[in-house]
Chains A and B, each alone.
Chain A
């Protein structure tokens, strides 16, 4: 995990209400889990506003597609990638020219 990361990977599946103690980067603080999160899935370490960048390994992995609260699971329902997005109009090449 890196300093910039605003998500973490769940090592053992957790349920809502479960409390996770974080020692990472400074004084320890507690996060209350808000969703059922399976092994290997992502949890928000802090509130992430819509369009804010999500960081893992200290690198951007996409943005929040809706506001995400601390302790919620972070996955396809609330975040999206920014790369190779052929569905976004500005990134189309041939198709968008034809549409015009």
Chain B
């Protein structure tokens, strides 16, 4: 059976599952203007960063990759960039550069400068006018059927417990295998949560060079953890993991890597680095739910799968760790713990805990998950998308802060 979804064809040949106008403030002084336009004009998303000033070049490049990547993401229909004046700011983040790289995809890119629009009040008014026109134009794009080879998924596990490694993550892994076999693309990450499982992961590396990149990424992260001078257990496994039955980082990692399935790992990429070819990729990045969805979105992910455990989260209900940190990439919540699903059905889209209850097989659950992903890709909302909230995003910066 051929799996299809209804998506927006883009001029570059990519296909979007959402159709947003993205507003990018090129300098942090203009964050407010971008956010106000997004507040007023529906179907827009603003990328509000923690700012570029005083960050070394490596981190400014992270910002550049993120801005350009969010603009190129197929879920973005067109882009409005707001700058202070022509040629202003750090070299890597000049409006002209960001604009040129996004416009190369054939998307409409509009640029407004504070100095040329006659100051703050007229910039805001002009921004609203231009954004409304762009939204109107984007709304006339019509969805068409496409296959899995046009889909890119990213996964992260969160609030992991012992169900994560045996229900939730294997379910996502199974869907990833189908996606990759169909010519699609997938991303997994969270380098800290590979510590103790890298010997298993490298068996699937495309070649020795990729295996070495995985080992190097893990070794570097482990060294950073050691330099803190604590048992990593003080930080990760997080308290919710320990309360959920996970004891060591090794145990957590061995359960975590299962979410990537069994496909060959094509390469290791940096945070927010774009993937140009089909296959499964490992992003060397931080696990934070206010950071990783943004990084995946910039890499080109259409949909972010947030695979939850949840046994260690106290109380009857619990809120979502992240609602909108993917900016243009929606977040879908899943769990492999049936008790978590019963507690938080308002917030979690999918339950694979039925495997442990002997109600469904892994194959049946994975099939059900793929169907739901295709429905969401075709325009059905995730539960997180029913909140009108923009999370602050924390890009994966290395520092130092200067």
Chain A residues within 8 Å of B, Cβ to Cβ: 9, 11, 38-42, 56-57, 59-62, 74-76, 79-88, 91-95
- In the complex formed, the residue of B with least CB distance to A78 is B247
- In the complex formed, the residue of A with least CB distance to B312 is A40
CB distance from B233 to the nearest CB of A (A): 6
Asked if residues A61 and B311 are in contact (CB atoms below 8 Å), the reply is: no
Residues in A with CB closer than 8 Å to B245 are 9, 38, 40-42, 75
- In the complex formed, the residue of B with least CB distance to A38 is B245
- Out of A56, A85, A86, A95, name the residue touching B251 (CB < 8 Å): A56
Stretch at the interface among B8-16, B158-166, B297-305: B158-166
Asked if residues B233 and A76 are in contact (CB atoms below 8 Å), the reply is: yes
CA A79 to CA B248, docked complex, whole Å? 8
Interface membership of B249, Cβ < 8 A: yes
- In the complex formed, the residue of A with least CB distance to B225 is A84
CA A87 to CA B242, docked complex, whole Å? 19
Can you list 14 pairs linking A and B with CB atoms under 8 Å apart? Answer: A42-B247, A59-B197, A59-B254, A61-B247, A75-B242, A76-B233, A81-B232, A84-B192, A84-B232, A86-B225, A86-B227, A86-B231, A87-B230, A91-B226
Beyond A42-B247, A59-B197, A76-B247, is A85–B231 a contact (Cβ under 8 Å)?
A: yes
CB distance from A48 to the nearest CB of B (A): 13
Interface membership of B222, Cβ < 8 A: yes
Chain B interface residue count: which class? 35 or more
CA A27 to CA B228, docked complex, whole Å? 48
Known: A40-B163, A81-B249, A82-B250; 18 extra A-B contacts, CB below 8 A, are: A9-B166, A40-B245, A41-B162, A57-B254, A61-B250, A75-B242, A75-B247, A76-B242, A79-B248, A80-B231, A81-B233, A82-B248, A83-B249, A85-B226, A86-B225, A86-B227, A92-B229, A93-B227
Residues in B with CB closer than 8 Å to A95 are 227, 229
Residues in B with CB closer than 8 Å to A60 are 196, 250
Residues in B with CB closer than 8 Å to A59 are 196-197, 200, 250, 254
Chain B residues within 8 Å of A, Cβ to Cβ: 161-163, 165-166, 192, 195-197, 200, 222-223, 225-233, 242, 244-245, 247-251, 254-255, 311, 337, 339, 356
Asked if residues B244 and A83 are in contact (CB atoms below 8 Å), the reply is: no
- Out of B166, B229, B250, name the residue touching A83 (CB < 8 Å): B250
Number of A-B contacts (CB under 8 A): 104
- Out of A9, A40, A62, A87, name the residue touching B248 (CB < 8 Å): A62
Residues in B with CB closer than 8 Å to A42 are 162, 245, 247
CA A80 to CA B242, docked complex, whole Å? 12
Residues in B with CB closer than 8 Å to A92 are 226-227, 229
CA A57 to CA B257, docked complex, whole Å? 12
CA A62 to CA B228, docked complex, whole Å? 20
- Out of B192, B248, B311, name the residue touching A81 (CB < 8 Å): B248
CA A40 to CA B161, docked complex, whole Å? 7
CA A38 to CA B166, docked complex, whole Å? 16
- In the complex formed, the residue of B with least CB distance to A63 is B248
Asked if residues A62 and B251 are in contact (CB atoms below 8 Å), the reply is: yes
CB distance from A13 to the nearest CB of B (A): 11
- Out of B166, B232, B254, name the residue touching A86 (CB < 8 Å): B232
Most A Cβ at <10 Å: residue of B232, B244, B247, B356: B247
CB distance from B163 to the nearest CB of A (A): 6
Asked if residues A9 and B162 are in contact (CB atoms below 8 Å), the reply is: yes
Residues in B with CB closer than 8 Å to A62 are 247-248, 250-251
Residues in B with CB closer than 8 Å to A91 are 226
- In the complex formed, the residue of A with least CB distance to B244 is A40
Residues in A with CB closer than 8 Å to B247 are 42, 61-62, 74-76, 79, 81
Closest 3 CB pairs of A and B: A81-B248, A84-B232, A40-B162
CA A59 to CA B198, docked complex, whole Å? 11
Most B Cβ at <10 Å: residue of A75, A80, A81, A85: A81
- In the complex formed, the residue of B with least CB distance to A82 is B250
